[in-house]
């Protein structure tokens, strides 16, 4: 067989095996026997070994894995992966709909309901129909690039079929079906190994294995639920789910189109009863406004899409004995009581400790040591005590007396009026608080200091070498080497990690400072709005609350932080050591004051920009994007499909409507 003939044979085998993979793992209608499939795969692998110059990263042969990764690198999502707002009461769905109808000025919505798969979220990036990257959710803005591992999952198409966008990001959930999970555990028992605790954690852990061959041996599947693309002719969520099936993705047939909220309630009730019959883990239902144009009208909060919500099925509950209470100190000084329990299996994990929240909750439940208590996982994640079996209470059981002093430094605890928590006020001398602030500072989502973890922070603290995050940057190798478990290589990695962390952008530095209530998203907004630590530290309360999503509580916390001379001292030192304390000049150069003092409400759909892009144009030109029309609204940026009730409200208040062309002229873009 000549080279040209063998190349054609190789390409034909790839196409044929792609087809049979799809038939077997997605459609569940195999057309050939396993033996025939294996024979064709062996032939393909043989030809690829003979002609390495014809390598294709999306060949069906990559499904078998092989080769070790050196680790995973972070990669930004072009389109942010938002989390969903959760609802635990059916009444919440009615409230959610009413808010959205008012916000969008609509009379009704149609919905698509999908089961909420309990696995590991993944973002699959396709260009020209070929898989080029796979990224974990991470913090929503960036995640780990795990493409090599994802290519081993046979229900994920490496090459798409049919008519699809040129570039798109497909969102899905990596799961392990019940029967496969049970099979894996039976095999581990037979080998004398410890069982896996639950499918979700096993699926998530599989994506981080360094050996792709091991990943290929795991029975992972991908269930698809969403798409982000700049250009798409799909008008609603139902159309996407149907199209995704034609492209080659696995979409469970349990989704349903609902004309109204009453049908949504029926769907929720049906699967609340039937979910145990499903072949995979699910912990709720996701309800989405179906039409894309209406999704754009509703937009996003800082963390979640307004057009989607997750209804969580009632949590599983178990009973066990409360053996004792310990008190944890957070980096802000907040004291959290934690119940020590007789170990009990709950939702797939062995639970030994559970949150008791605060003193008020302990008093409300009338908790006593030795009580048999009911425990559930809040949001299926955090164990918490929710009740007491009073019928089994022993007569000698005594009420719990909440701690009066900090368990670390012994300082008397304080409680501010209106706050449910107790606090240790010894901010600058309480060791747990100091170490907590430094651990937050070096964490991956903040400064991401490689070579430095919680144990090393504790060593440095107890050796008297660090008291603030700024102290890290004055460490010298000869100071660290004498410490326990520190050697030349680990010290060199620590020093390199600290130096590399100076490259982190301003918004990460701002998050790393640990200002109360300033999370990742808020830090991004503040960094973008003020541009530098200097401008932010001198910002007024009025200026802070004018930033989208920033309220009184956050504003007061920011002002309080920068009014503390001890905070400012170590922040100034961080600046002196070379950390980034301002946004890139390129971004700042784009800022104008053309819309200064104006509050603009966005409504409808636009042809020259998206709603998010419109918000950004308002921001960089000095304006504020408002969420609802009022007398304070300067004008409404009105697109097509603007709700009639919004238009009526604007007219009644005398608020002008500006179309996108006039808006662009205002900011001198045309």
pLDDT digits (tens, 9 = 90+) for 12-39: 888 888 777 777 666 667 777 767 777 7
| Same-domain status, 42 and 143 | no
What digits encode the pLDDT tens for the residues 62-120?
666 555 555 678 888 888 899 898 888 889 999 999 999 998 888 899 999 999 998 89
Q: Are residues 298 and 185 in the same domain?
A: yes
Q: How far apart are CA 571 and CA 387, in angstroms?
A: 45
The DSSP code for 274 is H
pLDDT at 589: 46
Q: What is the CATH number of the domain that holds 485?
A: 1.10.150.20
Indicate if 125 and 220 belong to the same structural domain. yes
For 53, residues 6+ apart whose C-beta sits below 8 A from its C-beta are none
435/460 same-domain check: yes
The predicted pLDDT at position 262 comes to 94
The pLDDT value recorded for residue 31 is 79
- Asked if residue 526 has pLDDT above 80, the reply is yes
Beta-bridged to residue 354, according to DSSP, are 339
How many domains, in total, are found in the chain? 6
Q: How many Å apart are CA 133 and CA 75, to the nearest integer?
A: 9
Instruction: Dump pLDDT digits (tens) for 340-380.
Output: 999 988 866 788 999 898 999 999 999 999 999 999 876 54
Q: Is the pLDDT of residue 533 over 50?
A: yes
With a CB cutoff of 8 Å and minimum separation 6, the contacts of 444 are none
Q: Does one domain contain both 491 and 527?
A: no
Whether residue 197 is found in the same domain as residue 321 = no
Rg, the chain, Cα only: 28
CA distance 45 to 62: 10
18-32, 163-177, 654-668: the lowest-pLDDT one: 18-32
Share the mean pLDDT of the chain.
87
**Could you tell me if residue 76 is inside a domain?**
no
Given a cut of 70, whether residue 276 has pLDDT beyond it is: yes
The per-residue pLDDT for range 216-273, each reduced to its tens digit, is: 889 999 999 999 987 888 999 999 999 999 999 999 999 999 999 999 999 999 998 8
Same domain membership, residue 620 and residue 562:
no
Contacts 24+ apart (CB under 8 A), 238-245: 238/112, 238/290, 241/112, 241/114, 243/162, 243/164, 244/170
| Residue 458, domain extent | 431-501
Q: Please state the three-class secondary structure of 587-621 as a single string.
A: HHCCCCCCCCCCEEEEECECCCCCHHHHHHHHHHC
What are residue 339's DSSP bridge partners? 325, 354
The answer to whether residue 398 sits within a structural domain is no
Least confident range from 187-201, 252-266, 391-405: namely 187-201
156 three-class SS = coil
Mean pLDDT, residues 186-209:
83
- Least confident window among 216-225, 533-542, 555-564, 590-599: 590-599
* Measured distance CA(422)–CA(336) in Å, rounded: 8
Q: Measured in whole angstroms, how far is the alpha carbon of residue 373 from the centre of its chain?
A: 32
Is residue 396 within 8 Å of 389, Cβ to Cβ? no
- The answer to whether the beta carbons of residues 608 and 572 sit under 8 Å apart is no
Q: What is the pLDDT of residue 586?
A: 40
| 424 lies in some domain | no
- Find the angle CA(205)-CA(211)-CA(213) to the nearest 5 degrees: 100
Residues near 306 by Cβ (< 8 Å), separated by ≥ 6? Answer: 99, 100, 103, 298, 299, 300
Q: In what order do the strands lie in the sheet with 130-136?
A: 130-136, 120-127, 167-175, 221-228
Q: 288-298, pLDDT tens digit by residue?
A: 999 999 998 89
Q: Are 145 and 74 in contact (CB under 8 A)?
A: yes
- Bridge partner list, 150: none
Note the pLDDT of residue 260.
95
Percent of the chain with pLDDT over 90: 48
In order of 114, 271, 295, the CA distances from 256 in angstroms are: 7, 12, 18
Rounded to the nearest 5 degrees, what angle is found at the Cα of 428, between the Cα atoms of 504 and 467?
50
Residues 100/107, Cβ–Cβ less than 8 Å = no
Query: Last residue of a domain, which of 247, 277, 312?
Result: 312
* Position 401 in a domain: no
- Quick one: DSSP state of residue 224? E
Same-domain pairing of 26 and 125: no
Q: Compute the average pLDDT of residues 626-650.
A: 82
Higher pLDDT, 589 or 169: 169
The CATH code of the domain that includes 12 is 1.10.287.610
Q: Let me know whether 551 and 617 are in one domain.
A: no
Verify that 305 and 328 share a domain, yes or no. Answer: no
Q: Is the pLDDT of residue 588 over 50?
A: no
Helix locations, 51-177, DSSP H: 90-104, 147-150
Domain match, 27 and 109 both: no
Q: Write the DSSP string, 446-489.
A: TT--TT--HHHHHHHHHTT--SSGGGGGG--HHHHTTSTT--HH
User: What are the backbone angles phi and psi of residue 277, rounded to the nearest 5°?
Assistant: -85, -5
The yes-or-no verdict on residue 585 having pLDDT over 60 is no
DSSP-based three-state secondary structure for 425: coil
Q: Is residue 417 part of a domain?
A: no
pLDDT band, very low/low/confident/very high, at 587 (cuts 50, 70, 90): very low
Same domain, yes or no: 567 and 609: no
**Burial, 650: exposed, middle or buried (Cβ in 10 Å; 0-12, 13-18, 19+)?**
buried
Residue 405 falls within a domain, yes or no? no
Return the structure tokens found at 109: 């919505």
Distance CA 519, CA 537 (A): 17
Pick from 501, 521, 555: which residue ends a domain? 501
What is the secondary structure of 331-359 as a DSSP string? TT-EEEEEEEEEEEEETTEEEEEEE---H
CATH value at residue 386 = 2.40.50.140
Nearest-angstrom CA–CA distance, 478 and 482: 7
Give the global pTM: 0.61
Q: Of 450, 472, 501, which residue sits at a domain end?
A: 501
Catalytically annotated residues: 116
440 within a domain of the structure (yes/no)? yes
DSSP code string of 549-595: T--HHHHHHHHHHHH-HHHHHHHHHHHHTT---B--HHHHTT---TT
pLDDT of residue 464: 95
Q: Assign residue 635 the CATH number of its domain.
A: 3.40.50.10190
Q: Is residue 191 part of a domain?
A: yes
């Amino acid at each position: 067989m000549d080279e040209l003939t063998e190349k054609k044979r190789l390409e034909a085998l790839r196409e044929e095996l792609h087809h049979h993979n799809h038939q077997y793992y997605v459609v569940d209608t195999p057309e050939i026997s396993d033996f025939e499939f294996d024979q064709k795969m062996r032939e393909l692998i043989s030809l690829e070994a003979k002609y390495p110059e014809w390598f294709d990263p999306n060949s069906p042969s990559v499904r078998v894995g092989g080769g070790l990764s050196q680790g995973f690198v972070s990669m930004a999502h072009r389109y942010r992966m938002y989390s969903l707002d959760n609802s635990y009461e059916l009444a919440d769905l009615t409230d959610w709909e009413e808010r959205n109808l008012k916000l969008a000025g609509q009379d009704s919505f149609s919905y698509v309901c999908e089961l909420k798969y309990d696995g590991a979220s993944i973002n699959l990036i396709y260009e020209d129909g070929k898989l080029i990257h796979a990224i974990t959710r991470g913090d929503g803005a960036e995640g780990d690039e795990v493409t090599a591992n994802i290519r081993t999952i046979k229900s994920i198409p490496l090459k798409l079929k049919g008519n699809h966008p040129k570039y798109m990001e497909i969102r899905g959930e990596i799961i392990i079906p019940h029967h496969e999970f049970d099979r894996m555990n039976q095999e581990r028992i037979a080998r004398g190994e410890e069982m896996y605790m639950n499918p979700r954690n096993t699926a998530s852990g599989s994506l981080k294995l360094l050996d792709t061959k091991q990943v290929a041996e795991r029975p992972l599947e991908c269930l698809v639920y969403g798409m982000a693309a700049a250009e798409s002719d799909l008008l609603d969520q139902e159309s996407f789910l149907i199209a995704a099936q034609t492209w080659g993705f696995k979409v469970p047939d349990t989704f349903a189109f609902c004309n109204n909220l009453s049908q949504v309630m029926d769907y929720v009730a049906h699967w609340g009863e039937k979910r145990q019959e499903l072949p995979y883990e699910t912990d709720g239902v996701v309800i989405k406004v179906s039409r894309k144009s209406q999704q754009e009208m509703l937009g996003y909060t800082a963390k979640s899409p307004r057009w989607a919500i997750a209804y969580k099925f009632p949590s599983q509950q178990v009973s066990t004995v409360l053996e004792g209470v310990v008190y944890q100190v957070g980096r802000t000084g907040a004291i959290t009581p934690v119940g020590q329990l007789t170990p009990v299996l709950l939702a797939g994990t062995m639970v030994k400790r559970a949150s008791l929240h605060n003193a008020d909750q302990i008093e409300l439940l009338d908790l006593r040591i030795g009580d048999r208590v009911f425990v559930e996982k809040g949001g299926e994640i955090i164990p918490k005590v929710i009740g007491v079996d009073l019928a089994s209470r022993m007569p000698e059981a005594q009420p719990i007396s909440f701690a009066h002093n900090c368990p670390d430094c012994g300082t008397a605890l304080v409680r501010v009026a209106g706050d449910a928590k107790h606090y240790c006020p010894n901010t600058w001398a309480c060791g747990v608080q100091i170490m907590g602030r430094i651990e937050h500072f070096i964490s991956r989502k903040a400064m991401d200091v490689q070579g430095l973890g919680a144990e090393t922070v504790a060593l440095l603290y107890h050796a008297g070498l660090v008291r603030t995050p700024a102290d890290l940057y004055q460490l010298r190798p000869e100071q660290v080497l004498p410490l326990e478990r520190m050697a030349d290589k680990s010290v060199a990695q620590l020093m390199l990690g600290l130096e590399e962390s100076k490259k982190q952008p301003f918004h990460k530095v701002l998050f790393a400072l640990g200002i109360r209530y300033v999370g990742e998203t808020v830090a991004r907004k503040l960094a973008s709005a003020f541009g530098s630590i200097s401008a932010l530290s001198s910002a007024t309360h009025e200026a802070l609350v004018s930033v989208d999503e920033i309220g009184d509580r956050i504003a007061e916390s920011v002002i309080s932080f920068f009014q503390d001379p001890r905070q400012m001292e170590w922040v100034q030192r961080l600046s002196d050591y070379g950390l980034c304390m301002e946004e890139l000049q390129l971004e700042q150069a784009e800022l104008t004051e053309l819309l200064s003092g104006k509050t603009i409400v966005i409504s409808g759909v636009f042809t020259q920009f998206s709603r998010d892009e419109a918000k950004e144009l308002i921001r960089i030109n000095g304006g504020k994007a408002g969420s609802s029309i009022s007398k304070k609204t300067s004008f409404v940026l009105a697109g097509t499909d603007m709700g009639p009730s919004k238009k009526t409200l604007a007219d009644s208040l005398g608020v002008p409507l500006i179309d996108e062309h006039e808006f662009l002229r205002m900011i001198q873009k045309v």
